[in-house]
Amino acid sequence: MGFKEEYEFWKTDSFFDEKTKQELISIENDTKEIEDRFYRDLEFGTAGLRGVIGAGTNRMNVYTVAKATAGLAQYIISCGPEAVARGVVISYDSRNFSPEFAAITAGTLAAYGISSKLSDELRPVPMLSYSVRYFKAFAGVMITASHNPAKYNGYKVYGEDGGQVPPEAADAVLANIEAIKDIRAIKTMKLDEAVAAGLVTYFGSEVDEAYTEMLTKLVVDQGAIDRQAGMSIVYTPLHGSGNKPVRRILERVGFKNIHIVAEQELPDGNFPTVALPNPENPDALSMAIELAKKTNASLVFGTDPDSDRIGAAARIEKDGEVTYKCFTGNQMGLMLLDYILDAKKQAGTLPADSFAVTTIVSSKLAGAICAAYGVELQEVLTGFKFIGERIKLDDEFGSKHFQFGFEESYGYLSGRDVRDKDAVVAAMLICNMAAASFEKGETLADRLAHVYEKYGYGFEEAVSVTLEGKEGIEKIQNCMTELRNELEASTDVSASDTLLGGVKVLAVRDYKTSKRYDLSGSEVKITPITLPKSNVLLYELGGEKGLDWACARPSGTEPKLKIYFGVYDSSEKEASDRLASVKSQVSGFVKEKLK
């Protein structure tokens, strides 16, 4: 069916509820809106579903969630009786319709004979990941749209290792979804009936306690916490799911002076106090910083709705004036990496064959830090599922020892019992690190300065261009195609100066074609890339340390093209100035291709 026919079907068929029909009737004169809602099915990728809440095949609603769950159910059944018997763990965050989407997920699985354990209240991503492993379930589902605007929700699928499903499994689920030609044929069961039949059971405090106890074992320096237990800390859950687990672990390890932003404490899917519930944005911490000034807090931090990302700021007092410095995701990742490795080395608890993991678009200074401690650094594609995969392969089933993982988008992980980014453990580690600095009379801003002094200066930024709707997706795809066409046409190395509008390019990594183009010599040399395929172009720019880079990639979870930059130098000013120049040239060049 075309989008108009699909619209008429949803608007008139008795299968759909009256509220859905009325919503669709209200847009019957808006052809563009109808097309956007029905021109495709909401895309199911390696991160599952994510989209705007509403009626339509290209929207998040109980029907699209049921269809995705039916595809997942068929995949589980195809994996054999043991997979069916182990079942699925389901959790959800504070977004609008998250409980309803969790309920339809459980009911649909039950209709296919698959049992599930459903969280008895909202719980964050890291607890869902932990719970899959705790219950030895075959899969997990988390209802969340992470840090997206309030109009979004999503559906993330996890494998038996607690990590997001790998591409092969996602492709199998997608094939099952696409095989459903009539949405009315999907089996469903009401939640109360599934509970009565024993196919759905609830979980709660047992997992809370086990997860919290696991986190206590990841404390780096308990002595520092004990000595600075009274340090003033401000936390905001940003209306999300982090409130209880974050406060629980901080209190358990001994912090006694924690202030919560009352206006942002309780769950609310409308996120009324912030423009965007994303701690990557310093504005999201503005209310927390105001409270910090009143409480003389040394540290401020906030978590996003599903509590997998965390942003933080440190108090700085100079000439009688108090300000709070917000850290980037890369800066916090570098500080935590250096802190954990240094503390373990000093304590004699850093094992041989240790490794850390970061992503291709994260700070290149991580390599210098790991080298200083004799720790292997592994780089993976963007997405924490790839970090989780390295833990599984090299630690759980290998002979190496995972120490820490981070990505530039404010995601961090310590320990091997969770396989996705975990703002709860990150909150505990950041507070532990702040306590260790505080007893030396220093702030986290001082610690960051020490990191730069020791390893060199590195500055990274990212520019996101949001283009929603069908036209936006097409523009992003066309932009990436045009950039690749220019690369393929660069058979003469002299053409490399034109690839990014005048920025000198030494090499280009095209992760979609698995080719690296070396443009540094007299002729182009092409070598293979061993990482999985991904729609990413990374440009190697050289610089004083040979580490400068730029990157273009469509977001896997939002209607955005993301443009990244990284510049490294022994001089702070040189690094800063060069970043500004590269950012201006590259972003301007790429944005022109999006018009």
The angle formed by the CA atoms of residues 546, 552 and 554, to the nearest 5 degrees, is: 150
Q: How far apart are CA 548 and CA 581, in angstroms?
A: 12
Residues 151 and 296 placed together within one structural domain of the fold? no
Q: How far apart are CA 512 and CA 518, in angstroms?
A: 16
Residues 413 and 298 placed together within one structural domain of the fold? yes
Among 355, 578, 358, 555, smallest CA distance to 461 is for 578
**Is position 262 within any domain?**
yes
Query: String of b and e for 79-89 (b: at least 16 CB within 10 Å)?
Result: beeebbebbbb
Q: What is the mean pLDDT of each run of 10 residues along the chain (595 residues)?
A: 95 97 97 96 88 97 98 98 98 98 98 98 98 98 95 97 92 95 96 98 98 98 97 98 98 98 98 96 97 97 98 93 96 98 97 97 97 98 94 97 97 97 98 96 96 97 89 92 86 68 90 93 91 94 94 86 95 95 93 89
Residues 466 and 447 placed together within one structural domain of the fold? no
Q: How far apart are CA 142 and CA 166, in angstroms?
A: 16
Q: What is the CATH number of the domain that holds 542?
A: 3.30.310
Among 143, 171, 203, identify where a domain stops: 203
**Is position 378 within any domain?**
yes
Residues 217 and 198 placed together within one structural domain of the fold? no
Residue 496's pLDDT is what?
64
Residues 396 and 483 placed together within one structural domain of the fold? no
Q: How far apart are CA 173 and CA 446, in angstroms?
A: 48
Region class of 502: left (phi > 0), else alpha (psi between -120 and 50), else beta: left
**Is position 20 within any domain?**
no
Among 455, 485, 513, identify where a domain stops: 455
Sequence letter at residue 147: H
Among 442, 426, 432, 461, smallest CA distance to 333 is for 426
Q: What is the CATH number of the domain that holds 323?
A: 3.40.120.10
> Contacts from 176-183 at CB under 8 Å and sequence distance 24+?
176/70, 176/71, 176/72, 176/74, 176/75, 177/41, 177/44, 177/67, 177/68, 177/70, 177/71, 178/41, 179/71, 179/74, 180/67, 180/70, 180/71, 183/15, 183/63, 183/66, 183/67
Among 455, 484, 503, identify where a domain stops: 455
Residues 493 and 514 placed together within one structural domain of the fold? yes
290 close to 266: Cβ distance less than 8 angstroms: no
| Structural domain boundaries, residue 158 | 40-203
233: β partners: 258, 299
- Of the chain, the end-to-end C-alpha distance in Å amounts to 31
Residues 284 and 393 placed together within one structural domain of the fold? yes
Residues 286 and 153 placed together within one structural domain of the fold? no
Report the SS3 class of residue 546: coil
Residues 311 and 384 placed together within one structural domain of the fold? yes
Among 138, 178, 136, smallest CA distance to 158 is for 138
CA distances from 308 to 59, 109, 411, 419 (A): 24, 26, 6, 11
Residue 502's pLDDT is what?
81
Q: How far apart are CA 455 and CA 447, in angstroms?
A: 12
**Is position 9 within any domain?**
no
Backbone angles phi and psi of 563, in degrees to 5: -120, 120
Residue 522's pLDDT is what?
82
556 close to 46: Cβ distance less than 8 angstroms: yes
| E strand or H helix that includes residue 37 | helix 31-38
Residues 296 and 435 placed together within one structural domain of the fold? yes
The angle formed by the CA atoms of residues 9, 12 and 16, to the nearest 5 degrees, is: 85
Residue 501's pLDDT is what?
79
**Is position 19 within any domain?**
no
- Please, where are the H alpha helices in 39-166? 62-78, 81-86, 98-111, 125-134
| Predicted model pTM | 0.95
If one counts the domains in the chain, the total is 3
Residues 291 and 316 placed together within one structural domain of the fold? yes
Active site residues: 146
**Is position 394 within any domain?**
yes
Residues 192 and 65 placed together within one structural domain of the fold? yes
Q: How far apart are CA 393 and CA 391, in angstroms?
A: 6
Q: How far apart are CA 65 and CA 49, in angstroms?
A: 8
**Is position 4 within any domain?**
no
**Is position 7 within any domain?**
no
